[in-house]
Every structure is written in structure tokens, then in C-alpha cells.
Structure 1
Amino acid sequence: MRRTSHPSPDHHPSSRPFGPHPPVAFSLVLLGLGTFLLVLAPLLAWYVEPRAAVNPIDIDTTAVYTGTGSVFDVEQVKTVPDQKITVTQRVRGDVAESERSGAAVWDVITSVDTEKSLPAADPHGALDFTPHRWVSDRKTNRPVHCCDEKPYIEGEAYLKFPFDVQERSYRWWDNTLGATVTLHYEGRKKVRGYEGLRFTAKVPATKTGTRMVPGALVDEPNRPQVLAEEWYANHGLELVVDQSTGRVLYAQTGPRRTLRAPGGDQDAAVLLDSRKLAFTSATQKSAVDQAEKESGLLQLVGRTVPIGTAVVGFVLAAAGAVLVARGRRRPDTSESSQDPITM
């Protein structure tokens, strides 16, 4: 006798899926994505951000200082007081040389003008014209002595400070002095509403070189030509610097350049003397705008994005882990089909 069991009308044979249950697959995706973001977060902070904090090689910027002071008029052969003075500093990057050397190669032209020489179609016609080249390590801002650098620049800062400026003294290259001066940290100061770190210094009268001049110019009328001594001092340097990027937001200088007779201890002629030459409003605005943009980018890459990535990664990884654990504890609810009974 053969008895065959028949499934009830309400019975439906189950079939096992080929692979994990869909919720388990989804939880694994969450767990994997969360883990990836947790690994990515420190990489953004420790690897990507330092590579964004580098001196540019394609820089093209101009800073203008204005003020009043005394200047030597070569036509009148005397020092004229109360003159409007404009100092223009143009900085351009040599991209090809920078890419070849791996350093930031910047060509700098500084010109000093009075109203008589402005506007100057040719900077060589200025009261004073000084071209030079600054080469720096793109990460540390330290001088790199290569690529026809001129002069031999030293110190920790020139034209800009290193990234992540600290509340301490820095050695700043003074190109007129031909040496470094120590800038002392003096607290914080706002420039157009944007806060920076303030540094100050003074330069005592220092001999910087010699030049051939008519003897009468240095109180030696009986000598047609004299190798006079060039002296330089600075009434006061003040710099306000963006802490994140090292960009100078505000600069003020008080140069005094004079001539002395050979071996003399008194100034015989004043070439330039100003208590205050400072960034114009337009230069300050440009500097602040650039600092806000650059520091914002560094903060985004080095802090905001890594923190956000870590938080999202943690949430996703935790959610994925919980779902995976629940999926593994779920019992198999599929029903076994009944085998036919034969006799």
C-alpha cells in the first residue's frame, strides 16, 4: 500500500535564496563604508592638508605702501621734507624654475617713488629701484639657496611667514639692512575685522655699504669724489600676520637711509626718512580677502572635512555592525517540505 501525503492548500514550499539575506548585505555595505570613512579621516588631516599648506609658485601680487617723509632730490641736490612717498612691491613666481627645483622661486621688484616720479611707466626711473629673487622651501618657508637667488637671504620669514604662525619671535629678512631682524610677538590685532598676530621691531643705525658721491654731499667740499658710507635705520616695523597661512595682512615700516663721510659718526646727507609707510587700504583688503580664502580652505581640508568624515564613518560603521549582529542572530524560518511516504 502506498500512501502519499499531500500538502495542505495553505502550504507553500520555501526556497532558500542564493546568498545572504538582503538586510545582511545592506548592513555589510554600511559597515564597509563606515570603516572606509574612518580610515579616510586621518589621511585628510595628516596627509592631504600638509600638502595643501605650501607656498604657491604662480604668485603674482602687488603690495603698495604710502606715507610722508623726507627724500633727497637729485635735481635740487638737497633733502626735501614733507614729500608723499609710495613704495611698490611686485612679486611674481617663476613657475618653470619652481617646477624644476621643487622650491618656490619668487622674483621681487621694490620701487620707491615720490609724486614727481609717479606714475612710473618704467620702474627704473623711480627714486629707488631694487630687484631681487627669493627662493624658499614651499613647506617650511625657509630659504633655499639655489636658482640664482640674490641676495643670499636668511631667516624664517620674508614677504610671508611660515604656515601655522606661533606666538613667539621670528627672524625676518630686512632687504635694505641685508640681514635679519628679530620681530617680537606683541599680541593680536584686527585688520579690517580679521584677526592676525602682531609683530614689531626696530633697527638701530647700521652701516650697510658704500657708494661714490661728490665730496660736497658729505661735507667734504675739497674732495671731488668720496667713497661715502651708507647707513640704514628703521623707526619701527609692524606686521600683522594671518596665523593659518602666514600671509601679511598689514605692514608698516619707518626707513631712514643716510650717507656719512668715511669714518664719520654723524649723518651728512639724508636720502630717505619716513616715520611711517604703511599698506594702503586696497592692499589691506586684498591681503585679508586672500587670507580668508586660503585659511578657510586649509581649515576645510585639515579640520572640518576630516571631523565630518570621522563622525559619518563612525555612525555608519556602528549602524552596520548592529545590523550584521542582528542578522546573524535571526533563526532560519524556512519550512522543510514533507517527503512522500511509500509502502
Structure 2
Amino acid sequence: MKRRWLGAVLVALGAFLIVAAVVAQTWAPDNVKRTPIDVNSTTHLGGSADKLNPKTGKLESYPIYVLDINQNDSNRSDGSVAVFVRTTCVVIDNGQKQVCPSDKDPNLIDVTIDTFATDRHTAMSINDPQYLPKNFVPHTGLVNKFPFDAQKQTYPYWDNVLQAPVDAVYQRTAEVKGLQTYVYRAVTKNAKVDVIAGTPDSKPVKGTYDDVRDVYVDPHTGSIVDQAESQQRYLTDGTKILDLKAEFTSAEQQAKVDEARSKWSQITMVLDTVPLVGYAVGIPVLLIGLALLFLRRRGDQPAAPEPERTETPVGV
């Protein structure tokens, strides 16, 4: 009885491990390599800005901080599409608490609020009205991350000032806090844009815009772990009104690298470790269990009766 019980347990365990391995190879890849829809993160950048003082007509230099706030709209997101509300604030850093201030705060240099949807597998923009509010701005290309298993190629990358995609061209590999990343460069030159956004009381100010952005991407997860940007804005007469340089803070780089490594460890555990253990352990365990059950059944069969022996009386 004990052998039969042990055999049944081993058969069940082996079958479970094999099924887990099959599921990890067939179902898991499309489900673990997906953009999460529980994002509520703030990315911190630091840098400097030369900003035109309209009273003096001269550029004045300031230290700045930039907050890039990404939040999922869980009510609109689903299994295939992730919907985001993204707020980006550029603020003069006077040592104050780093928050996104009101429009009337004199320290606020620029603020944008953007709502967009992306495919959870490819990270490419989706412009389906069922996911987005009325009067949404159609997006093209990547917005806030790169695809899983990013390649050494050119990707369309959304520029929110330009309101259009630019080519993010693969440049090189580089190490960020010990993590090997792919570096993509997106360049915009002499683009006609609103260099100062309009308000309820004023019209937007027209001008031109230059931007060079280096994006450091973990190729496994597509996560952006660093970004360095150099941006200039000019009035139509050529007057420079803004010269901005910003990059992820060192602490932000470390946090992004740690997050990317943790995410990739979870993915590799599901896609690689589970199948390896499932097959390497599950198959032998299943076979041992079947052997115990089979041997037990053979051992339970009654022994064949011995033939009767007839004794011949002596002297007959």
C-alpha cells in the first residue's frame, strides 16, 4: 500500500511539472512580455536651462528639475492595450520640494499633459477611439518604452513638442549602472512648432525647435533606464528663448536599472527556469511513479498454486 501511495504521488507531481513546462513554453511568452497596466511612476531628471527674460531680453541660466509622471488609466486599459496619462513638468529648481506646480507659478518653465494608448506587446501607439478620450491627439510610434527584445535598428519615437514621430536611430551599446543598454538617438532640427503653449488668455507663440535625445534602453524589457536631452527653442525672428539640457538623475538611473533587472529575472524564471525544471525533474519523477505502480500491481498478483503430488503406496 505504501509503495502504491508513493507511486501515485510521484505520477501526479511529475505530470504537474510537465504541464507547467508546457504552459510556460506556449502560454507564458505572450503574457509575461506585456506592458503592465498598474503603472503609477514619476521619473526624475535634472539639468539646466537658459531661459529668455522678457524684461531684459537676455537669456538667464537656471538649474532645473523635470518630472515625467506616467499613470495608467485602468478603466480603459485591457489585456491588449495600455492607456496612459503622462504629465511632464520642467521647473526652475530653487531647492523647493519637487512637485509639478500650478500654471501661475513663476518657476514653471513648461508643462504638457498627454493621453495615449499603446499595444502591450509591441509598445507601439494605438489610435482606437474606444481607448481614448474625445479630441485625442493621434500618436505614431513608441512613446514611453521600447518593445521587449529591442533590436539594433531604427524605431519611430514620438516627440510631444513636435506632435509627430522622429527616427530613433540605434547608435551603440553603453553601460548604465552596470547594465548593458542600447542607445538610440532621436534628432529634430528647425521644426516649426508652438514654442510657448497657449493659455485661455493668450495664443500660442510660434517658432522653431531643435532637439537631440539619447535614449538608453534595456534591450530585454524595452525599459528606458536613462535619457539625455538637449533642446533649443527660437522665435520666428531667430531669437533663442530656451536652451535646455536634462538627464535622468543618478538615483533615477539606479532605480530604473534595478526595476529592469527584476522584471527580466521574473520573465526568465517563467520562460527558462520553469520549462527546464519541469522537463528535467518532471519526466524522471513521472517514470519512477509509473514504475512503482506497475511493480506494485505485478507484486499484488496471487502466486500460481503448486501442483498436487500423488504418493504411490510402498509395496503395491
TM (norm. structure 1) is 0.75
Is the 8 Å Cα contact of residues 17 and 277 (structure 2) preserved in structure 1? no
SS of corresponding position for 1:277: strand
Output the CA distance in 2 between the equivalents of 1:118 and 1:154.
36
| Pairing 1:153–2:128 present | no
CA contact (8 A) 1:68 1:83 kept: yes
Conservation of the 8 A alpha-carbon contact between 2:173 and 2:183? yes
| Cα 1:252/1:332, change in 2 over 3 Å | same
**Compared CA separation, residues 78 and 327, structure 1 to 2 (3 A):** same
1:135 matched residue in structure 2? 117
For 1:103 and 1:331, how far apart are their aligned partners in 2?
59
> Match for residue 194 of structure 1?
179
* Bigger Rg over Cα: 1
- 1:103 & 1:170 partners in 2: Cα distance? 19
Deviations 1:136-160 (A, max 9, x none): 12222121223127422111x2111
Determine if the alignment matches structure 1 residue 41 to structure 2 residue 21.
yes
Report the identity percentage.
Answer: 24
Matched, 1:240 2:225: no
- 2:174 and 2:8 map into 1 onto residues whose CA distance is 52
Aligned to 1:5: none
Gaps of 5+ in 1: 1-20, 214-224, 262-266
Q: Does 1:272 align with 2:258?
A: no
AA at the equivalent of 1:272:
L
Q: Give the SS at the match of 2:115.
A: strand
Q: 1:295 to 1:227 in 2, by over 3 A?
A: closer
Given the alignment of the two structures, is residue 54 of structure 1 paired with residue 34 of structure 2, yes or no?
Answer: yes
- Unpaired runs of 5+ residues, structure 2, are 311-316
Do 1:117 and 1:127's aligned partners in 2 also have CA atoms closer than 8 Å? no
Equivalent residue in structure 2 for 1:229, among 186, 190, 206:
206
- For this pair of structures, how many residues does the alignment match? 299
Query: Which residue is 1:15 aligned to?
Result: none
Using the TM superposition, give the Cα deviation of residue 36 of structure 1 relative to its aligned residue in structure 2, in angstroms. Answer: 4.2
| 1:157-199 Cα deviation digits (max 9, x unpaired) | 2111112212222111111121111112233222111222222
CA distance in 2, matches of 1:329, 1:320: 14
Q: Which amino acid aligns with 2:88?
A: T
1:27 to 1:259, Cα distance in 2 relative to 1, 3 A: same
- 1:286 matched to 2:255? The reply is yes
CA–CA distance in structure 2, aligned partners of residues 150 and 49 of structure 1: 32
**2:125–2:143: 8 Å Cα contact kept in structure 1?**
no
